[in-house]
Amino acid sequence: MTEDQNYREAAGSFGAVAAEYDRARPGYPEELVDALERLWGRGLKGARVLDVGAGTGIATRLLAARGADVVAVEPSPGMAAQFLASAPTLPLVRGGGDDLPFHDHSADLITYAQAFHWTYPERSVPEAVRVLRPGGAIAVWWNVHDDTVPWIRARDRRMAAALPARYSGYGGISSFTGHFEPAGLTVGRAVLHWERRVTVDHVLTDLTSRSYLASLTPEERAPVLAAEREAMLTEFPDGVVVEPFALDLTVAVTPS
Ligand SMILES: C[S@@+](CC[C@H](N)C(=O)[O-])C[C@H]1O[C@@H](n2cnc3c(N)ncnc32)[C@H](O)[C@@H]1O
């Protein structure tokens, strides 16, 4: 399989683990929306927002709660079904970031919560610019495990050793966000540090929903998860984990 085929397979892997995803993935702190509004220079209230790669709606629900008029956009049937179960009152359109099913100049803000890396930026950036109104913005963010913390670094090493063809870690975002300035957008960035307190089982369910494990068969995945359970219980004998994140946000604003 080529690298691109591997990548596309991973992009389509979420549907089979949608319930685990919705249950165990970390959400986003309220400060994310504050930082987004500050970098954009506008408030979310009443703004027409497209949440692309909405998945099960974790970010969509946060945006709606802060007053956005938000439409979810999601290509995966499994993730879309979980979205409709978790957020039955919010609208969802089936589609992807490289070919947005929306009219020109019909949105104020387009968000990609942990989803922009699944698009091809040479297609998704011009698509977003086409759909945005003047002064509109693209917001992309990733909830990255904070690898300044030793147990996170140790887990990264274990995953890289167990899944050399699939696990690349968090390789930096510039290969994606580097497409914004050449397209004439004004770019701002903020990194927010936060943590959650969860059980080892919760962390393992979250891991199951990560593309590098979700794209394996259950038989291939089981020994990796068993080794991970053992390592985590050695590190956290009481079964409770404080999991640190660095939330990396980039906002790119179109000319007014
Ligand atoms: C890591 S999940 C993020 C889900 C959600 N935004 C969140 O914050 O939890 C990535 C999502 O991107 C979707 N996706 C895959 N390829 C995509 C594409 N080309 N355009 C938009 N979304 C895509 C996947 O189906 C999946 O639901």
Band (87; pLDDT cuts 50, 70, 90): very high
Structure tokens at 131: 């759909």
Give the count of alpha carbons within 13 A of 113, CB side only.
Answer: 25
- Cα 215 to ligand 1 centroid, rounded to whole Å: 14
Distance CA 180, CA 183 (A): 5
In a domain, 175, yes or no: yes
CB-defined site of ligand 1, < 6 Å: 11, 14, 25, 52-55, 58-59, 74-76, 79, 96-98, 113-115, 118-119
Report which of residues 249 and 7 the model is more confident about.
249
pLDDT at 106 over 90: yes
What does the pLDDT read at residue 39?
Answer: 98
Band (165; pLDDT cuts 50, 70, 90): confident
Tens of pLDDT, residue by residue over 227-249, are 999 999 999 999 999 999 999 99
Average pLDDT over residues 139-166: 92
Spatial contact of 47 and 14, defined as CB atoms under 8 Å apart:
no
Average pLDDT over residues 5-9: 68
- Cα 225 to ligand 1 centroid, rounded to whole Å: 23
- Cα 74 to ligand 1 centroid, rounded to whole Å: 7
Tens of pLDDT, residue by residue over 23-47, are 999 999 999 999 999 999 999 999 9
Band (2; pLDDT cuts 50, 70, 90): low
pLDDT at 1 over 60: no
Structure tokens at 181: 């300035």
In a domain, 210, yes or no: no
Sort strands 69-74 and 92-94 into parallel, antiparallel or unpaired: parallel
Q: How many domains, the chain?
A: 1
Atom 23 of ligand 1, nearest CA residue: 53
Average pLDDT over residues 157-165: 90
Tens of pLDDT, residue by residue over 173-225, are 777 889 999 999 999 999 999 999 999 999 999 999 998 899 899 999 999 99
Q: Any idea what the CATH number is for the domain that residue 177 is in? A: 3.40.50.150
In a domain, 203, yes or no: no
Of 159, 210, 155, which is closest to residue 21 (Cα–Cα)? 210
What's the mean per-residue pLDDT of the chain? 93
Note the Cα 42 to chain centre separation in Å: 22
What does the pLDDT read at residue 3?
Answer: 63
Tens of pLDDT, residue by residue over 109-137, are 999 999 999 999 999 999 999 999 999 99
What does the pLDDT read at residue 7?
Answer: 67
Atom 1 of ligand 1, nearest CA residue: 114
In a domain, 212, yes or no: no
- Cα 255 to ligand 1 centroid, rounded to whole Å: 27
Distance CA 33, CA 16 (A): 29
In a domain, 73, yes or no: yes
Helix, strand, or coil (residue 186): strand
Range of the domain at 18: 3-145+169-196+245-253
What does the pLDDT read at residue 11?
Answer: 77
In a domain, 126, yes or no: yes
In a domain, 224, yes or no: no
What does the pLDDT read at residue 164?
Answer: 87
In a domain, 228, yes or no: no
- Cα 9 to ligand 1 centroid, rounded to whole Å: 13
Of 63, 106, 108, 53, which is closest to residue 83 (Cα–Cα)? 53
Atom 10 of ligand 1, nearest CA residue: 115
What does the pLDDT read at residue 174?
Answer: 75
Distance CA 132, CA 140 (A): 15
- Cα 90 to ligand 1 centroid, rounded to whole Å: 17
Q: Which of 76, 94, 207 to mutate to test the pocket of ligand 1 (most atoms within 8 A of CB)?
A: 76
